[in-house]
């Protein structure tokens, strides 16, 4: 499910069909629902869902998208090791205020 969500998200970005972001966001959530919290690749899915939510936020300005993305990114930052590439990607998404 996560691979399909990623493919849909990339497709939305390249085709500039931002209205279709609902599909990958929903698929990322499905993938998270299926993954136990202790599974190592869960943080990558959280990060990808946060990116999709932030992309939709930039177009539609739904505050719930930004809030949900912030929660996902905070969780990723809390879980990942300091030198992790996933943590660095989350820090970039959060912005300079987190550095």
What tens digit of pLDDT does each residue of 37-59 get?
888 889 999 999 999 999 999 88
The answer to pTM > 0.75 is yes
- CATH number, domain at 23? 1.25.40
> pLDDT digits over 1-51, tens only?
777 777 777 777 777 766 678 989 999 999 999 988 888 889 999 999 999
Q: Which domain holds residue 36?
A: 2-98
Query: Residue-wise over 57-89: b if at least 16 C-beta within 10 A, else e?
Result: beeeeeeebbebbeebbebbbeebeeeeebbeb
Count of structural domains within the chain: 1
């Amino acid at each position: 499910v996560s691979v399909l969500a990623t493919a849909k998200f990339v497709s939305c970005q390249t085709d500039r069909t931002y209205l279709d972001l609902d599909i990958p966001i929903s698929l990322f959530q499905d993938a998270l629902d299926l993954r136990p919290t202790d599974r190592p690749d869960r943080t990558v899915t959280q990060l990808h869902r946060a990116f999709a939510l932030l992309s939709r936020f930039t177009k539609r300005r739904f505050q719930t998208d930004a809030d949900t993305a912030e929660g996902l990114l905070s969780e990723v930052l809390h879980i990942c090791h300091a030198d992790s590439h996933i943590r660095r990607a989350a820090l970039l998404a959060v912005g300079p205020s987190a550095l």
